[in-house]
Structures are given as structure tokens and as C-alpha cells.
Amino acid sequence: MASGEQSPLVSVVLPVFNGAALAGQAIESALAQTDCSLEVIAIDDGSTDDSLEMLRRYGDRIRVLEQPNLGVGAARAAGVRAARGEYVAFLDQDDWWLPGKLARQVAALRGDDRLGLAHTEVRYFDEARQQFTGPLNPDARPERLTGDCYGELLLENHVRNSSVLTRASVLRAVGFDTGIAGNSVQDYELWLKVARVSRFAYLDEPLTVIRLHPDQGTWDRRRMLGDEAELLERIAADVERTPVFRERMARLYDSLGVAHLDVADLRSARPCFRRSLGWRPTLRAGVLYLLTCCPRFVLQGIRSWRGRGAKPSQGASQPVMVGEDSLAGTALRPPASTIT
């Protein structure tokens, strides 16, 4: 959107940190959403590479905000505060959209005033292999997160940040917290807040592409699980502790404990299995807790025990590579940058 234009329909919030190599593709995919008026707000979060220079080369096609390195959560919050659109869309610097994404989501929200958020199906792109992958979690069912879905969302977060369009009025009503350590589940907390006051719409089209690469913060599984546990512990005081929710919390702490075991951190694993037992006692969690109380040399025994038919924790498996032809071919490729 040019700087002289007023009242865009959609504000696109795009935090950037050392994203000179990839953020341009995200920006291009946003600017390609020509079927609705928009503004792209890129927030440079204290980058130490050429990100800021790259952003400035777009001129008045985007709005550029600068801040010291406060984290992606603070950058998103700054973008939301600056947003002028009726709707706000989130886009991470590594990801991109297919044409028509925003228009379809706007149409969905305009069709029902009770809807506060629309999200889409996503596809995953492996940057190292330069090909598309299967889902990180084959059991994910984002289509369940539609309508009144707060209870379902408590059990699993299958909403990807870059797939979301929200009403700006809803964001202002629920607030935008940046207080969670590491910001790794800030989006999840926001979806839960939105789900308490409005309904969700789900578009069963792969209009969002999530790029996977080793430098992403989302690869720090221990941090993500720990932040998620902290978030849900705070929420647990205000929700009904159904058997399904108790099992969800037990599995979460079990997964966090296993993640600590994978790096031989027995001291951190021990309280996780204790918390898992508190939410829902299981033989597995009990055995793992007792083993973490033993000397460090028994860690190999723990791993051997896990390997005898134990099911891997959800989301821990490696993506299965698939041919790009089965995922709509070149339509899902990153858009080429027009900035030189």
C-alpha cells in the first residue's frame, strides 16, 4: 500500500530479524494479494544483517518500523498497534502466501459477524532439500478448529501463525500479551483469547506455505513445550479439568520430560514426569520419574526402555518427503523477489 492511501482493508504484520535472505519472498507474496486493499507493516527487530536495508528498498510499498531486539512477540505487538486495517493478518518472515488468500478469508469473516478469526490449511517446504514435505504432525486436524472451538483448542494448537486473519476489533478487545518467556507460544495464547470471545472459520485450501529450516526458533522443542506448559497451567485454574484436558496436560509434561532426556538433562526431566503423574498417573510416567532419580549412567537404560515399542511423542517424527507435483506443483513455490 502506498503511504498516501488511507484505511486499508487488511494490515499485514510481518516481524523481521536477520531475514534479508528470505523475508523478501514473504513480502512479495503479501503484495501479490491484489484482490483486496492492504498495507504491509514490516517490523525490523534489531537485525544485524542487511534486513533493514532490504526493507527500505521497497519504498512506500510497505511500512517499515524499527525497534531494538526485543523478540518476535514484541515485534508483532508493535505491528498490531500500528495497524490501520479492519483486519490484521500475520505473516512470518520465512513463510509465504498463495494468491487470493486474504480475499477468501475476508469473505469468510464478512459472511458471519460472529467470526473473529479465519485460518487456512498449510503446506510445508523444506528449505534444505528445496522440496515440499508432509505435515510435521500427521495427526493434526486443523479443520476441527472451527466455530465455537475453545475447548478443542485447549487440547491442541493446530493454527499456524502465517495462516491467520483476524478482526482488528477482536485483537483490541482481547489484548496482545508479549510476556511469555521466549514468545514461542504467544500465538497460541492469542488464539485462545480470540476463541473465548468469537468463532473461528477454517478454509480447507493450502493457501499458506510454512518454510522449515534449522535456524527457526520453532526447532527448540524443549522451549516450546515448556512455554506451552506454563501457558496452560495459568489457564487451568479457569477451565473445567475434564479427563481429556487432564490427559492433554499429562502428555504435554511427558513430552517435555522426554525432550529433556534426549539431551541427557535428568534434573529438568524429573519434575516434568512428576507433573505428568499429578495430572494423570500412568505406569510410563512413573517408571521414567523413578529412573531420573537414579545415577546418570542409567540414562542409556531409559533410552533402551523407550525404544522397545514405545510410541514416539507427538510431533517428534521427521517429516516425510513427498513429490511437489502432489502439492499443486509450481503454484506453491516461493515468489521471486522484485527487489534488487
Q: Report d(CA 291, CA 317) in Å as an integer.
A: 24
Same domain, 165 and 93: yes
Q: In this structure, which amino acid lies at residue 155?
A: L
180 within 8 A of 227, measured Cβ to Cβ: yes
**Which residue in 339, 337, 334, 336 sits closest to 98, CA to CA?**
334
Q: Give the tens place of pLDDT for each residue, 303-326.
A: 666 666 555 444 433 333 333 333
Q: Is the pLDDT of residue 239 over 70?
A: yes
Question: What is the domain range of residue 254?
Answer: 221-307
pLDDT of residue 309: 52
326 in a structural domain? no
pLDDT of residue 132: 84
> How many residues are given for the chain?
340
Same domain, 73 and 196: yes
Q: Is the pLDDT of residue 181 over 80?
A: no
**Which residue in 208, 176, 168, 178 sits closest to 88, CA to CA?**
168
Same domain, 271 and 140: no
Least confident of 62-66, 209-213, 320-324: 320-324
Same domain, 246 and 169: no
Q: Report d(CA 70, CA 290) in Å as an integer.
A: 40
pLDDT band at 186 (very low <50, low <70, confident <90, very high): confident
pLDDT > 70: what percent of the chain?
80
16 within 8 A of 49, measured Cβ to Cβ: no
Please count the structural domains in the chain: 2
Q: Give the tens place of pLDDT for each residue, 124-170.
A: 999 888 888 876 666 767 788 899 999 999 998 889 999 999 999 99
pLDDT of residue 51: 98
The residue from 195, 219, 243 where one domain ends is 219
The residue from 219, 235, 269 where one domain ends is 219
39 in a structural domain? yes
88 in a structural domain? yes
pLDDT of residue 9: 98
Q: Report d(CA 253, CA 118) in Å as an integer.
A: 30
144 in a structural domain? yes
120 within 8 A of 163, measured Cβ to Cβ: yes
Same domain, 165 and 245: no
Q: Is the pLDDT of residue 189 over 60?
A: yes
Taking residues 174-188, report their average pLDDT. 71
105 within 8 A of 112, measured Cβ to Cβ: no
Cα-Cα-Cα-Cα torsion 223, 224, 229, 234, nearest 10 degrees, comes to 100
pLDDT of residue 46: 97
> Does 3 or 244 have the greater pLDDT score?
244
Per-residue DSSP letters for 234-280? HHHTTS---HHHHHHHHHHHHHHHHHHHTTT-HHHHHHHHHHHHHHS
Q: Is the pLDDT of residue 65 over 90?
A: yes
Q: Is the pLDDT of residue 42 over 90?
A: yes
Same domain, 30 and 118: yes
Q: Which domain CATH number covers 130?
A: 3.90.550.10
12 within 8 A of 30, measured Cβ to Cβ: yes
183 within 8 A of 71, measured Cβ to Cβ: yes
Same domain, 43 and 141: yes
- Total-model pTM: 0.81
Same domain, 124 and 182: yes
340 in a structural domain? no
